[in-house]
Amino acid sequence: MRRKWVGGNWKMHGSRAMASALVGAIVEAKTDTVDVAVFPPFPYLREACAACAGSRIAVGGQDVSEHESGAFTGEVSAAMLRDVGCGTVLAGHSERRQYHHESDGQVAAKVAQALTHGLTPVLCVGETLDERDGGRMAEVVSRQLGAVIAHCGIVAFERIVVAYEPVWAIGTGRTASPAQAQEVHALLRSQLASDDARIAGSTRIVYGGSVKPGNAAELFAQADIDGGLIGGAALQATDFLSICAAAG
């Protein structure tokens, strides 16, 4: 039985005061039946890590450099995230792939950096609307997942969370139906299973894209949906906590 996982990706929202209030409310709530992670903007990570110390809440960066260290102005390394107390990190979020042109190879290198430094990578995959309408959904998500399997090896998936985030459902209010999401999750799991059935059975594959308190339970009830990566609804403690409750 896979334990459910719920993450809150705050993207570039909020302020130091908001971050502190939000983390405080999440730490205080009883979410022990599900693995919970929060992904605040970089400047707020240190304080969030301090506030979550001693709790089961993991704190993570929204991105990580594919490089170990060096002259890469503006980048943050996996070692630095670890150094301030992070336990996890997003890799390959569609907003990074889209606006920063991150390639599958770069995303795989980011996942590898995270693993090297003891962070749980949350590997994001997902197709655009054009790709879905063009009948290329399976090809795209399988290419994105395959790049990480090829670079990091299947055994790495014992420590990776996979997030399926269809680009057309992010921030649009247009959620994938539970059946649409389940279809892709099953595809991703069978791709993992073709390398290692045991690892495929234990890897968490979570859904992201307009998850709200009102639709979370139905999504999380699908056989291959092991929780969610939440954007907009993660900015309100009550909404985020009710989504965590739907997973628990």
Select which of 66, 93, 102, 131 is catalytic.
Answer: 93
The 3-state DSSP class for residue 11 equals coil
**28 included as an active-site residue:** no
Task: Report the amino acid identity of residue 111.
Answer: V
Give the dihedral sign, CA 139/145/147/149: negative
Given 102, 127, 131, 165, the catalytic residue: 165
Q: Which of residues 201-220 bind ligand 13P (CB under 6 A)?
A: 208-211
Each residue 80-119 as x (binds ligand 13P by CB under 6 A) or -, in order, gives -------------x--------------------------
Would residue 165 show up in a list of annotated catalytic residues for this protein? yes
Q: Does 232 bind ligand 13P (CB under 6 A)?
A: yes
State which residue, 40 or 208, has the beta carbon closest to ligand 13P. Answer: 208
Q: Which residues pair with 131 in a beta bridge?
A: none
Secondary structure of residue 132 in the 3-state scheme = helix
Supply the minimum distance, in Å, between the C-beta of residue 234 and ligand 13P: 7
Beta carbon nearer to ligand 13P, 60 or 231: 231
Q: Is 120 helix (H, G, I), strand (E, B) or coil?
A: strand
**25 close to 241: Cβ distance less than 8 angstroms:** yes
Cα dihedral value 144, 192, 230, 118, nearest 10: -90
Under DSSP, the state recorded for 10 is: -
| Residues 165-184 interacting with ligand 13P (rule: CB under 6 A) | 165, 170-171
CB 16 within 8 A of CB 37: no
Sole binder of ligand 13P in the list 231, 244, 246, 247 (CB under 6 A): 231
For residue 202, the minimal CB distance to ligand 13P (Å) is 23
In a 13 Å sphere around the CA of 234, the CA atoms on its Cβ side amount to 26
Q: Please, are residues 89 and 122 in contact by the beta-carbon 8 Å criterion? A: yes
Q: Which residue is closest to ligand 13P by CB?
A: 231
Q: Which is nearer to ligand 13P, 96 or 117 (CB)?
A: 96
- Please give the residue ranges that form the binding site for ligand 13P (CB under 6 A): 9, 93, 165, 170-171, 208-211, 229-233
